[in-house]
Structure 1
């Protein structure tokens, strides 16, 4: 294998992007694997994740490129804006490299996953397959926002971290100014949990203007809604006539996007495979949050099917070198890790047709029951104060290190007076929930706008409550009027074991994961007011959580 560093590729507007090229020395030609990233193609952690050396040793010509305005590449850094055109030009360039067989596949997680989708939408003829991992579908459902609330948890630290390279380039000729700028940026990054997240207005965050750096895209998408198409996949999958391998985690910030992209590609009749593990955005081993899912849950074993890296390469080779002898078994259409029983299961579809939407009703007396109320029942109420929001504690998130993802003990959250709790009796039998979870609240507030946050939890036989899925909706309200608020909690595959109890939280904040609603209706306000929140749960004003219950015994084998 040989490595060429900073190989130039000229884009249609003359800007030069640079890539490292890993080429087998044996006789080719070789199928090409392309990854495009803004994080620095030589960053050790990413190099280990992408393993270009290992991929080249397996008989691929591997190209890892810095995107426009980042590290070795020229141009101005704007997140997302140029990835479609630059992706198209880069695929065509990579296909023509010496040693290439003319077929290009793309791979990589998160931003790298979106560069694949954008290139695929541009339709370079040499692109034959994509393998996006932990990436989104609709940017307003996980990247920029969720349920109308800003994804502040990722926006602030991500933008600050990308600002380091921006400042290094901006002050390259002035070491003193460079050092001062970097010290200020690092100071705000280090203080993110205690200071920076709290700055107002969140929708036009002062930290980005203070350092003169691009933000993730929430603010720009509000100023220029059409610009969001530069990273939007949702509604456009049918334009792409390519096979795709979708890999995600139940506790990843983009978990629902992974599922939505797979579902849309299958609906369009495209070859597609799905793998969903008990993983976060960056953690793919067997332990997450408070829970040990077992070694077989990791990407190193996948239930003893083999390493994910090997399975992915085998999948890519089928599409890029169809005449080659396959070295890995065929992947099933869907491979799910079912939490609770902690087993992998092969399926033929997503969502599962055999799952039955089942109502769990919020009842007076903190009860959660499968039977609906038949009479009037006392409402639940709490006061939400944005100066003292409910702190983020676990979940499908990507934030600063003070806020780890995954299933975590919710005891401190459940002790707060601004969190309503509804709990079932102990379950007589195992209950599997696999699919999308939604809450329908009949709710009222005395504010012109407020947020509703719902969380589904598993309470074990020792009384420890851990989060499974959650969601938020930002509502415009007529004070005092009861309306139905639908909260999308996204999807899971989880077995609540016999003897456990199911619990639902209802509150109005999850900060700093999502920005605080100040309850005033001012989109860029800095002043707040408390809100009195009321949840109804009687025969004429139902509040419920809808669970996709898979009847026992579940089909398939681990």
Structure 2
């Protein structure tokens, strides 16, 4: 297999006559070979491909690899509309790839993020030659991590993603007008460079001015509000029963789509399908062992996996079992491999979520305490002022933003020193406490206006007093009764971490995390038109009738 043949820009005609182009990597020797197909909008030879699919390595393993530019991108024809054509184009491309010379007729799909979703869309279209998919670091419900989270706009990813993709759009638009091209690209780069210094703050957030300024397609939030039915074009949630294929899913605890990966896995298992899951301590683009401020140990690196070998090879092994010689095979039932932070170990499981984890309440208490004991007497409510013009800055987390905002676990000292951030902390732990599963905060709170946000964050405080974020979430309250306490549930998604003996568990409560999520302007106006700002007075209650608390899935010691 020393000789790998590569064909560039191989055309495939879609049902409407649009031609999409792909690079095809053929193994040396004699076939036929099973096909690995990836469809992405970022360019067939982009360096990011190597994170989720090394085509040369795949060809050496005996796969015929097809990497295609999606419609309207780079070498492919058509107009660029994120998501719109991925189901139909996915169907047509799978059928085309299965019929390529030297193909054995069995197709598997591979890729992450956008091109994790193109797999789901192709699978939902049911081309008969598609036998397996490996959707990595991708979502299930776009309104839970892609477009919005808890009702707030995922501004952090929406703006830079849409502007970066706009570069190819502008080059196509001005291909015969050098002056127009230079001017438009210059303006686009200026907007990208200025995001962290103020560009993210443009209003209205729900009809972002930069997209109009450059006349660019955006990630999909704005279109999905105008055309709710169109949102189905990239929604997997609620449709898993339609996918009768084995799946291999990889995610990271600090990936912006971490919960989507878990939700896709659990839904496929619930539907009775073979499903494999790997969750590392990784971000969306960093699958190494140093993430944020933390070194999780060399074994956490995706090239080592605690001496199990490369994630790439684990995927290839799975595809070789699943695709076989083109005949349907009975796949294994799937496995679960979790990285447990804190003790920094990989652990094999047979299920997610873990049935042995018990939801355990830790109560927000007076004087910044966090205790398992609920309040037995009245405790004075905590108060703070939330000013949308001075929001709490995004500091770490499961995010994907402009490069000034690092994802992962980061020191929270500056955040916790603000007057608009409430902090509740346990005493130093006597023994290790493992938290593996979905985390939520039940908050009894009031605001003095018609609308506001509540943000909660779980942190690990080490022996030196350094607090680092583990998981967080937001909930947008659109119809508040001013001054009236109400119960709000903030979904912090899922994690796996051991809070070591001597560490402390901490919860932050505030009303913003900007620019990860757009600011609630506290007026109740729709995000698509809101530009007026008001300052809100916030109250958080913790008394016997209103027991604010964090609910942690605690795993008992083995």
Q: Which of 385, 388, 391 is the aligned partner of 2:387?
A: 385
Cα distance, 1:51 vs structure 2:
1.3
Task: Provide the rounded CA distance (Å) in 2 between the counterparts of 1:323 and 1:8.
Answer: 24
2:405 aligned partner: 403
What is the match of residue 307 of structure 1?
310
**If the length of structure 1 is used for normalisation, what is the TM-score?**
0.97
Write the mapping of 1:307-326 to structure 2, written as runs, cut at 5 A.
307-321=310-324
Cα deviation digits, residues 190-225 of structure 1 (max 9, x gap): 111112101000000000000010010011111111
Counterpart position of 1:40? 43
Match of 1:221 in 2: 224
Alignment partners' CA distance in 2, 1:47 and 1:531: 47
SS at match of 2:496: strand
Aligned partners of 1:48, 1:354: CA distance in 2, in Å? 34
Shift of residue 3 of structure 1? 0.7
Q: Which residue of 2 aligns with 1:503?
A: 506
- SS of the residue corresponding to residue 250 of structure 1 reads strand
- The Cα shift of 1:48 comes to 6.2
Distance 1:439 1:337, change over 3 A: same
CA deviation after TM superposition for structure 1 residue 332, in Å:
5.8
Residues 59-115 of structure 1, C-alpha deviations (whole Å, 9 max, x = no match): 000000000000000000000000000000000000000000000000011001000
Asked if structure 2 preserves the Cα contact closer than 8 Å seen for 1:92 and 1:124, the reply is yes
Number of residue pairs the alignment of both structures matches: 550
Q: 1:95 & 1:248 partners in 2: Cα distance? A: 28
Q: 1:169 aligns with which of 155, 168, 172?
A: 172
CA distance in 2, matches of 1:376, 1:204: 44
Quote the offset at 1:522 in angstroms.
0.8
Residues 332, 347 of structure 1: 8 Å contact kept? no
Q: 1:72 maps to what in 2? A: 75
Matched, 1:254 2:257: yes
* Counterpart Cα distance in 2 of 1:460 and 1:218: 39
Q: Distance in 1 between matches of 2:333 and 2:87?
A: 29
Contact 1:360/1:547 (8 A) holds in 2: yes
Q: What secondary structure is seen at the aligned counterpart in 1 of 2:523?
A: coil
Report what 2:342 is aligned to. Answer: 340
State the shift of 1:47 in Å: 4.7
CA positional deviation for 1:330: 7.8
- The 8 Å contact of residues 104 and 325 in structure 2, kept in 1 or not, is answered as no
Q: Is residue 450–residue 519 contact of structure 1 (8 Å, CA) maintained in 2?
A: yes
Q: Do the aligned residues in 1 keep the contact of 2:24 with 2:65 (CA within 8 Å)?
A: yes
Q: Which residue of 1 aligns with 2:301?
A: 298
- Structure 2 CA distance, aligned partners of 1:44 and 1:264? 32
The aligned residue for residue 485 of structure 1 is: 488
Counterpart secondary structure, 2:547: coil
Match of 1:526 in 2: 531
1:366 to 365, 368, 374: 368
Structure 1 segments unaligned to the other structure (5+ residues): 554-558
- The residue aligned with 1:556 is none
Deviations 1:164-207 (A, max 9, x none): 00000000001111011000000000111112101000000000
Q: CA deviation at 1:323?
A: 8.7
2:28 aligned with 1:29 = no
Q: Report the counterpart of residue 458 of structure 1 in structure 2.
A: 460
Q: 1:191 to 1:331 in 2, by over 3 A?
A: farther
Tell me how far apart the structure 1 counterparts of residues 52 and 377 of structure 2 sit (CA, whole Å): 57
Taking only aligned residues, the RMSD between alpha carbons, in angstroms, comes to: 1.3
- The equivalent of 1:185 in structure 2 is 188
1:41–1:47 CA contact under 8 A, matched in 2:
no
Give a deviation string over 1:454-483, Cα, whole Å, max 9, x none.
Answer: 000000000000000000000120001110
1:203 has 2:206 as partner? yes
Tell me which residue corresponds to 2:132: 129
Cα distance in 2 between the residues matched to 1:89 and 1:330: 29
Q: CA deviation at 1:54?
A: 1.4
Q: 1:48 to 1:114 in 2, by over 3 A?
A: closer
Residue of 541, 545, 548 corresponding to 2:550:
545
Q: CA deviation at 1:45?
A: 3.6
* Cα deviation code 1:147-168 (max 9, x no counterpart): 0000000000000000000000
Answering whether residue 18 of structure 2 is matched by residue 15 of structure 1, we say yes
What SS is found at the alignment partner of 2:543?
coil
